[in-house]
Homo-oligomer: A and B are copies of this chain.
């Protein structure tokens, strides 16, 4: 199901059709991304459990620096704004942190002292 079916309103039919075509593509891409993100969170949930069980530090600054550099470079070759790609990674990671905190609580590991915790803009996978 796409969501563009009533998009054309009273605009020029050719323009309405072109708009509907583009919106169908946007809807297809959004569905793909939602499913990729569902997979990503499955993986980060597993990482969270692994780290909590083995009492590994939640943040790995070297890994995070590599992730950012890699995503910026991939974005550039895909003609996506690298700054946006970095912002996007931070947005996702903020959600991952929320998940990992709840996993650590469930596993019974106490929250590490504030000084050891990553900043809220997020750096855990």
CB within 8 Å of B: which of A27-52? 27, 29-44, 46-47, 50-51
Whether A110 sits at the interface, judged by CB under 8 Å, is: no
Q: How many copies does the complex hold?
A: 2
Name the CB-closest residue of B to A75.
B34
CB within 8 Å of B: which of A46-93? 46-47, 50-51, 54, 56, 60, 62-63, 66-67, 70-71, 74-75, 78-80, 84-85, 88-89, 91
Name the CB-closest residue of B to A29.
B40
Name the CB-closest residue of B to A79.
B38
A35 to B33 CA separation, bound complex (whole angstroms): 10
**Nearest CB of B to A31, in Å:** 6
Chain A, interface SS category: helix
Taking a contact as CB atoms under 8 Å apart, the answer to whether A34 and B91 are in contact is no
Whether A22 sits at the interface, judged by CB under 8 Å, is: yes
Taking a contact as CB atoms under 8 Å apart, the answer to whether A7 and B60 are in contact is yes
A97 to B7 CA separation, bound complex (whole angstroms): 18
Please list 14 pairs of residues, one from A and one from B, whose beta carbons are closer than 8 Å in the complex, sorted by A's number. Answer: A3-B70, A7-B63, A11-B54, A19-B47, A19-B50, A22-B43, A22-B47, A22-B50, A30-B67, A30-B70, A31-B74, A34-B74, A41-B80, A42-B79
